[in-house]
Amino acid sequence: MATDAPPPSKEEHKLPTTEEFAEVQQSAEFGELRRSYRSFAFPLTVAFIVWYLLYVLLSNYAGDFMGTKLFGNINVAFVFGIAQFVTTFLIAWWYARHAGAKLDPKAEAIKTRMEGGA
């Protein structure tokens, strides 16, 4: 069974000390990484929770609206339910792109420096 993964590295990585972890945690670079993550993840999480709760509340308290037929046997509730799945996958895809472009390079630079590679 062949894989594309490289073989395990033979070189030893030094383990950072507690002081080095604390120093990196206080650094501007780590602060920027954390800000970049939070500025993306927190608003999107809040927006999705509001969207989900709207769906639940409409399902419970606006039955006539949710039961409105759009075409055939497809009603508003069904469309909103499918939209929940679609938005979940879109958010996951969007986050993966954001992480790959903004978070992973910064995190990798910090990790490399912590392990003594730079």
- Kindly report the pTM of this predicted structure: 0.74
What are the C-alpha distances in Å from 61 to residues 20, 32, 107? 54, 43, 45
Say which amino acid occupies 13.
H
Whether 115 has a pLDDT exceeding 90, the answer reads no
Tokens, residue 114: 């912590």
**pLDDT of the residue at 10:** 65
State mean pLDDT over 39-61: 95
Q: How far apart are CA 88 and CA 98, in angstroms?
A: 15
Whether 43 has a pLDDT exceeding 80, the answer reads yes
CB distance 110 to 24 below 8 Å: yes
